[in-house]
Amino acid sequence: MKIKKDDKVKVLTGKDKGKIGKVLKVVKKTNRVVVENINVVKVHQRPTQANPQGGIVEKSMPIDISNLMIMCNSCVKPTRVGMKQLEGGKRVRVCKKCNEQIDS
């Protein structure tokens, strides 16, 4: 997976198209990610010790990784991700538009 936790991503399709958010969680098994304030739904929650009132809560749900594009820090545009191997054998993610390293 080329998208990691704490990356900034832009939504390409769906009800939140065009919005930018930070990745909170990556679910590798289903190729989905949870993005902050994206794909928010209202969930009915029963009363628990943590939330004795219960009620309707807003929650960010996972979105498919194919509907997202990573934002480059240097050129500030959505971009595809390439991999580059450094001298020490370490692999890093690279922006395909400006060839700069993408930092998490």
Contacts of residue 20, Cβ cutoff 8 Å, sequence gap at least 6: 8, 9, 10, 11, 71
Q: What is the pTM of this model?
A: 0.85
Q: State the Cα–Cα distance between residues 43 and 51, nearest whole angstrom.
A: 13
What are the structural domains of the chain?
8-73 (2.30.30.30)
- Tell me the pLDDT tens digit for each residue of 20-38: 999 999 999 999 999 999 9
pLDDT over 70 at 104, yes or no: no
pLDDT band, residue 66 (cuts 50/70/90) = very high
pLDDT at 1: 81
**44's tokens:** 């009915």
What is the spatial distance between Cα 70 and Cα 9, in angstroms, rounded to a whole number?
4
> Would strands 81-85 and 8-11 be described as parallel, antiparallel, or unpaired?
unpaired
